[in-house]
A and B are shown apart, each in its own frame.
Chain A
């Protein structure tokens, strides 16, 4: 598949229709982030509340079963930090 920068006007589908389902997963919305998540997994009770509230749907359990956001898509909105009942999640500025 051509990257965005390689596509010419002749590559455009009729009316720019997207024919590949789920292609939005290639879009790195993580670039938008000004804050990122950090975790103190000793407090995580693996309840998954953060994943339910995540507007990007980018939180899933890691190998240990602790819930973690994927930085490829995480926009750093901090909703998971606010909703986490045990205070596992903290937000830090990207430059730190």
Chain B
């Protein structure tokens, strides 16, 4: 059994990257990711981590340096947030298409303008279609564990895809939580050394990132799509293996007090912790309310979601991002789409709240359950609304 220590979540993430024996870190500091990369720079500088730390001039360069690094077969880690993730946007697609498993923690932050450095999942939703495996963390222990097992998933020979680990900026990155840090031997046992099958090697030259004309491009994209979907069973396998070694079990969709629940809340990330308290309160009052927490965003776990929703009559999806002029919050519209073909499906309503670091407390989650019950009988024009906005 590892040691449970009080630790800032950012430092725990850096510790996970260190214990994974990362070879290269290329990163540019940006709030609220700063503590993660500051700590890694420190670990490299004082010799605790034998790695190359590349201080780049922008996030675009950070991701580009990471691609070159993985291409040589080096285990590579980076972290960013908000505007930084947007600046590296075009390179994100390249990482996935070239099958280069960069492991990146994103401290989720609002996007400008107005300038706002606080927690928000707009950055997460903007990179949905980049082809990365995307995992969303709920608390500090998950942030440590997910950073660690992300290497194992991404570097698996059957996967070879970059992995994004999403942690809510400030709500997770800047809080101190009791986190169990395992023994190094256990980590070594769990995470084998990285071996890229076709690395850049002067003795066996290859060309990476070549061009594909119209006669080939569609074939390359289909190969990529099949590959990302095929990572799902491997992700499940890694979760099983993680449980065997560290004793904590992870699933694509977590259920909390869903037995016999007529109403289900669905959250992504740190909202889940507050929503659990709200569900406890509502259950005490005799309401059949439960909670689903979506951990795996890409590849989307359609089967797990359908199973977890079960016989619920009302599903309330809470987004921390807007899709301007679109069909409600991004997670809401995806979940509705995932359940559309089901013969029996709940009424699905969406709220967008907690934008730009606005706190949603237990009372607000209770309020959303109440408000959803009012909206429920109404038609399609009232399926989603922004919650907690002053009129």
Contacts and interface: CB of A to CB of B under 8 A. Distances in A.
A14 B99 contact: yes
B68 to A, nearest CB: 14
A7 B98 contact: no
B197 to A, nearest CB: 6
A10 B220 CA distance: 9
Contact of A9 (B97, B99, B205, B220): B220
B71 to A, nearest CB: 9
A63 to B, nearest CB: 32
Contacts of B205: 21
B380 interface: no
Interface string B55-67: 0000000000000
Interface in B206-238: 206-208, 210, 212-213, 215-216, 218-220, 222-223, 226
A56 to B, nearest CB: 16
A4 interface: yes
B264 interface: no
B226 A9 contact: yes
Interface string A34-56: 00000000000000000000000
B106 to A, nearest CB: 22
Contacts of A8: 219
Contacts of B212: 16
B219 A15 contact: no
Contacts of B215: 4-5
Q: Number of contact residues on B: which range applies?
A: 20 to 34
A95 interface: no
A18 B207 contact: yes
A57 B67 CA distance: 30
Nearest to B225: A9
Contacts of B210: 16, 18
B317 interface: no
B198 interface: yes
B76 to A, nearest CB: 15
A4 B212 CA distance: 10
Contacts of B220: 9, 12, 16
B219 A12 contact: yes
Given A9-B222, A9-B226, A15 B216 contact: no
Given A5-B215, A7-B219, A19-B206, A14 B226 contact: no
A96 interface: no
B17 interface: no
Q: Which of B205, B222, B223, B226 has the most CB of A within 10 A?
A: B223
A19 B208 CA distance: 9
A18 B206 contact: yes
B222 A15 contact: no
B261 interface: no
B322 interface: no
A7 B216 contact: yes
A17 interface: yes
Given A9-B223, A14-B99, A14-B160, A19 B198 contact: yes
Interface string B291-308: 000000000000000000
A23 B207 CA distance: 10
Contacts of B20: none
A18 B210 CA distance: 7
Nearest to B222: A9
B100 interface: yes
A5 B214 CA distance: 10
A8 B218 CA distance: 9
Contacts of A4: 213, 215-216
Nearest to B204: A19
A93 interface: no
A14 B224 CA distance: 9
B105 to A, nearest CB: 23
A17 B223 contact: no
A9 B219 CA distance: 4
Nearest to B160: A14
Interface of A: 4-5, 7-19, 21, 23
12 contacts: A4-B215, A8-B219, A9-B220, A9-B222, A9-B223, A9-B226, A12-B223, A14-B99, A16-B212, A17-B98, A18-B207, A21-B206
Given A16-B97, A18-B207, 12 more contacts: A11-B219, A13-B198, A14-B160, A14-B198, A15-B99, A15-B198, A16-B210, A16-B223, A17-B208, A19-B206, A21-B205, A23-B207
